[in-house]
């Protein structure tokens, strides 16, 4: 979704509909060349002046805003003309109502989005009427407490409204030291279900603030605009078309500098630069074709050649078999080996194990190591395997065993260890000396020394093992292929 820029005309149409039309067209021209980066909207303000201003205060020239509002009054027909021009120029239409009758007018004029001014943020009679309109809502938060923002967000989200919150400071113009751009981050973290924006009142020549706001993650921006003439001079916080163009250019530059919010894809040049600084894998001795390459056969040193395995490729999750003979001292090239990388499969297994433990409400002691048994290789872990957490292993031993849906643990026996299993969650089928039995949560099964045992689960299972001391060399598999697999275990310390 592109960032949205909202241009606020407020009363800068000066009560002159022709001047308002010229302003809309001038701002449209200022946006030329930026449509590939941004979406644009134009905003009006509606007040039903005959009811908005109390009868006793109408016509007062000594009250600043009353004089301003009354001098710039427009008819319903004039507002419709401005809305039509906004649509003609390709702008989305936005309007700020300051009273309930103005929301009725927004509905009647077919305006796309309702904007709530900061002064109206907790005007509950007005918010109730806005909530009944079938339109997205943008709300400025200047001067509001977190409790007030919480209440307004809850009010609109509970009613299923599309809500954008705008960080805003209501000083006109706002000095740099009062901009509080970090509030954007606070709003983003506290209200993840809302789009967060920045409504600006700083000096119109200030292009730094929009860059900072973009970097902080704002995606909606609002600024007062003006078309100065001899008759209608600019105020101190509204931007003219040239200043708007500079503002958009700064925002585009910030967007380019900030880049993606997802993890970026490095360029070919960056990859090449990093690879050239890595250590390469070299053969310590001649490696025959067909040999699995292990740590004893290689050394890792700088510099690497193009296409050579590097230290970054070499890990306990990777397996390399020579396709061709590799001479002693020579670089081990990617083209010369068959590669198998299992890190992704291991992470998938850990994620599934966590989910099953959570489903069974199983409490796992903190900082427990995870042992993944992949008897026929990690590539067949979904068929054959088991995951184990050793809680204690002294003269007595306790483990948590996790089997994922569809897994089988191959047949084995122990000569020294006797063990009892308590099923905590899920279903388990066991074979004890080829005799099958089924178990469910709460069942207890004891396996004596020398008894061959095998497990299978259809829907996944978590069971507890309580036993005498576990010894590494006391597991004997009836399938000799398992014992011949030296990489059938993976241990993880940081998995919780």
- pLDDT tens for each residue of 221-277: 999 999 999 999 999 999 999 999 999 999 999 999 999 888 888 999 999 999 999
Which sign does the torsion angle of CA 123, 124, 129, 134 carry? positive
- pLDDT tens for each residue of 26-69: 999 999 999 999 999 999 999 999 999 999 999 998 888 999 99
Residue 344 pLDDT: 83
Average pLDDT over residues 437-463: 96
Whether the link from the prior residue into 124 is cis, omega within 30° of 0, is no
Residue 474 pLDDT: 94
Q: 4-258 and 344-492 share one CATH topology? A: no
Q: State the pTM of this model.
A: 0.70
Average pLDDT over residues 13-33: 97
Residue 378 pLDDT: 85
The CATH homologous superfamily of the domain defined by 344-492: Jelly Rolls (2.60.120.10)
Among 280-294, 359-373, 387-401, which stretch is predicted with the lowest mean pLDDT? 359-373
Average pLDDT, the chain: 95
Average pLDDT over residues 8-18: 96
**Does the structure show a pLDDT above 90 at 181?**
yes
Confidence of residue 486 (pLDDT cuts 50, 70, 90): confident
For residues 467 and 392, give the distance between their C-alpha atoms in angstroms, rounded to a whole number: 10
Transcribe 174-234 into DSSP letters. Answer: BPGGG--TTHHHHHHHH-TTSEEEEEE-B-TT--HHHHHHHHTT--EEEEEB----SSS--
Percent of residues, the chain, with pLDDT higher than 90:
89
Residue 492 pLDDT: 83
Please check whether residue 415 is in contact with residue 474, taking contact to mean a CB–CB distance below 8 angstroms. Answer: yes
Which sign does the torsion angle of CA 32, 36, 37, 41 carry? positive
CA dihedral 373, 379, 380, 381 (to 10 degrees): 40
- pLDDT tens for each residue of 117-136: 999 999 999 999 999 999 99
CA dihedral 153, 156, 157, 161 (to 10 degrees): -130
Question: Which residue has better confidence, 194 or 487?
Answer: 194
Residue 490 pLDDT: 86
Residue 496 pLDDT: 67
Domain map (residue ranges) of the chain: 4-258, 274-339, 344-492
User: Among candidates 367, 363, 440, 357, which has minimal Cα distance to 404?
Assistant: 357
- pLDDT tens for each residue of 391-439: 999 999 999 999 999 999 999 999 999 999 999 999 999 999 999 999 9
Rounded (5°) CA angle 342-346-348: 120
Confidence of residue 345 (pLDDT cuts 50, 70, 90): confident
Confidence of residue 104 (pLDDT cuts 50, 70, 90): very high
Pick the CATH number of 274-339 from 3.90.1210.10, 3.30.160.160, 3.30.470.30, 3.30.565.10: 3.90.1210.10
Question: Which residue has better confidence, 484 or 496?
Answer: 484
Highest mean pLDDT among 151-165, 347-361, 377-391, 470-484: 151-165
Percent of residues, the chain, with pLDDT higher than 70:
100
For residues 337 and 381, give the distance between their C-alpha atoms in angstroms, rounded to a whole number: 24
Contacts of 108 (CB under 8 A, 6+ apart): none
For residues 34 and 27, give the distance between their C-alpha atoms in angstroms, rounded to a whole number: 12
The CATH homologous superfamily of the domain defined by 4-258: Aldolase class I (3.20.20.70)
Rounded (5°) CA angle 244-249-260: 130
């Amino acid at each position: 979704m592109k960032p949205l820029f909202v241009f606020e005309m407020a009363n800068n149409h000066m009560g002159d509909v022709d001047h308002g039309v010229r302003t809309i067209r001038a701002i449209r021209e200022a946006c030329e060349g930026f449509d590939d980066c941004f979406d644009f909207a134009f905003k009006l303000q509606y007040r039903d002046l005959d009811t908005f201003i109390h009868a006793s205060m109408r016509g007062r020239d000594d009250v600043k805003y009353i004089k301003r509002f009354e001098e710039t009054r427009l008819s319903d027909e004039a507002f419709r003309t401005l809305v039509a021009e906004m649509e003609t120029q390709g702008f989305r239409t936005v309007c700020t109502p300051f009273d309930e009758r103005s929301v009725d007018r927004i509905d009647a004029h077919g305006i796309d989005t309702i904007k709530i001014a900061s002064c109206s943020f907790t005007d509950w009679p007005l918010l109730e009427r806005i909530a009944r309109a079938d339109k997205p809502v943008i709300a400025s938060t200047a001067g509001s407490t977190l409790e007030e923002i919480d209440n307004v967000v809850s009010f609109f989200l509970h009613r299923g409204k599309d809500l954008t919150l705008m960080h805003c400071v209501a000083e006109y113009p706002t000095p740099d030291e009062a901009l509080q751009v970090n509030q954007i981050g606070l709003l983003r973290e506290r209200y993840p279900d809302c789009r967060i924006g920045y409504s600006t009142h700083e000096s119109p020549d200030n292009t730094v603030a929009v860059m900072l706001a973009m970097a902080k993650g704002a995606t909606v921006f609002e600024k007062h605009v003006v078309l100065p003439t001899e008759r209608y001079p600019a105020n101190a916080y509204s931007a003219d078309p040239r200043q708007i163009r500079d503002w958009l250019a700064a925002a585009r530059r910030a967007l380019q500098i900030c880049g993606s919010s997802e993890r970026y894809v490095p360029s070919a040049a960056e990859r090449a630069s990093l690879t050239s600084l890595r250590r390469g894998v070299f053969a310590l001795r001649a490696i025959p074709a067909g040999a699995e390459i292990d740590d004893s056969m290689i050394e890792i040193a700088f510099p690497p050649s193009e296409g050579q395995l590097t230290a970054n490729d070499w890990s306990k999750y990777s397996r390399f078999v020579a396709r061709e003979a590799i001479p002693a001292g020579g670089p081990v090239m990617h083209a010369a080996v068959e590669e198998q990388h299992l890190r992704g499969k291991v992470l998938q297994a850990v994620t599934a194990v966590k989910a099953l433990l959570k489903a069974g409400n199983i409490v796992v002691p903190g900082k427990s190591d995870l042992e993944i048994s992949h008897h026929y290789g990690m590539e067949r872990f979904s068929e054959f395997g088991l995951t184990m957490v050793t809680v204690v292993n002294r003269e007595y031993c306790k483990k948590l065993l996790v089997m994922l849906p569809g897994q089988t643990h191959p047949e084995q026996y122990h000569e020294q260890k006797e063990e009892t299993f308590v099923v905590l969650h899920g279903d388990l089928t066991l074979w004890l000396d080829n005799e099958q039995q089924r178990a469910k949560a709460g069942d207890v099964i004891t396996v004596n020394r020398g008894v061959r045992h095998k497990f299978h689960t259809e829907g996944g299972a978590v069971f507890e093992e309580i036993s005498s001391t576990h010894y590494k060399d006391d597991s004997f598999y009836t399938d000799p292929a398992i014992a011949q697999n030296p990489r059938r275990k993976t241990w993880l310390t940081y998995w919780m």
